[in-house]
Structure 1
């Protein structure tokens, strides 16, 4: 793979002869066409492909959250790539020979900000939920101005709801109302905090699966 330096021809995209031109991370790149192969992937390779697609399909709807708050970039890997790698390696189990996302091992954020102290979440009726926690402002790098976030996922509907920057850490309670199509459905909840400048985030905490009343 080689980078095209801007000259009289500039960059190009698409296939030309035995090479293909692409724009990758703002750079014009040329690379040789992949060699055709008749090699049949092994069962292990096929299963890894299935696992990877399962993880990608799951994480894609919350990609903006992951790109903002999941750890740090690792070389050329984006935060979303790091989150994908983490989920693939830590939150997938095999059940009846099929990959399953293990919700309690999923992370939707990962960072060094001090997280919630004793968080809980309960239904309040009318498809509403209330999250409560204790004030740990001043513990380590925790500040009263850190903002609360909730991520909700219904496996039956394969649907996410994201509530960002709801209230500050020192408010100690946050309310959300889910759309009515969640009524009677089971929903998973994760919570995390981010600094007021959004430069730091806490590692998310799983608050369990709850049925929407």
Structure 2
């Protein structure tokens, strides 16, 4: 069932027959539902591999959706797509092999051209992960106010801990607290910088995997 917005002449949310209406980037759009032939429903070997890769990436990104909504926000506006779909498309193309297996070192959770985190190091104690990095702002005082973004993700348990607006670039350190119940679990970690005005963001850097 669909509901109309602003009367019969406005956009609508939901399904009407073979069409679906929804709002995208402030605009009302409509798309038709896909039609599958009996052959396509069964799927060729390549189609099955593609669907498997799609499912694996969907499963991987689901816990970090709040992070990628910020991380891919600027690029999503340029492409007029949702941040989730841009992140999924980019990472399926660049961070999955032919079997759909994910390479965390190639995963990006933020997308942009701002100068990123350099010379990152991590120390671990019972509090969590302690990050440090080089102040690579140079003589640009605006870059000194960029804020670090950090993500720690345990893929085995599908849980993540993160900061979207951490310490400034020139403060060169940040702490991400992790609950003690996660002791012994492996975490994959990414870092990034976002501008103070949110008008620029860097490509995320994969720091590695660490046992808490």
**Residues 1:23 and 2:26 aligned together:** no
1:79-119 deviations in Å (ceiling 9; x for gaps): 3222111111111135xxx5321111111112111112211
Counterpart of 2:75 in structure 1 is 72
SS in 1 for 2:97: strand
**Residues 1:49 and 2:51 aligned together:** yes
Query: In the superposition, relative to structure 1, how do residues 14 and 174 fare at CA in structure 2: closer, same or farther (>3 Å)?
Result: closer
Query: In the superposition, relative to structure 1, how do residues 197 and 126 fare at CA in structure 2: closer, same or farther (>3 Å)?
Result: same
Give the gaps of 5 or more residues in structure 1: none
- Structure number with the higher helix fraction is 2
Most deviating of 6-15 and 171-180: 6-15
Distance (Å, rounded) in 2 between the aligned partners of 1:127 and 1:118: 22
**Residues 1:93 and 2:97 aligned together:** yes
Equivalenced residues, count = 202
Give the gaps of 5 or more residues in structure 2: none
Q: Determine if contact 1:114/1:139 at 8 Å carries over to the other structure.
A: no
Q: TM-score normalised to the size of structure 1?
A: 0.82
Q: Which of these two proteins has the greater Rg computed from alpha carbons?
A: 1
**Residues 1:109 and 2:110 aligned together:** yes
Q: Determine if contact 2:57/2:102 at 8 Å carries over to the other structure.
A: yes
Distance (Å, rounded) in 1 between the aligned partners of 2:205 and 2:185: 21
Counterpart of 1:193 in structure 2 is 193
Counterpart of 2:85 in structure 1 is 81
SS in 2 for 1:117: coil
- Structure number with the higher strand fraction is 1
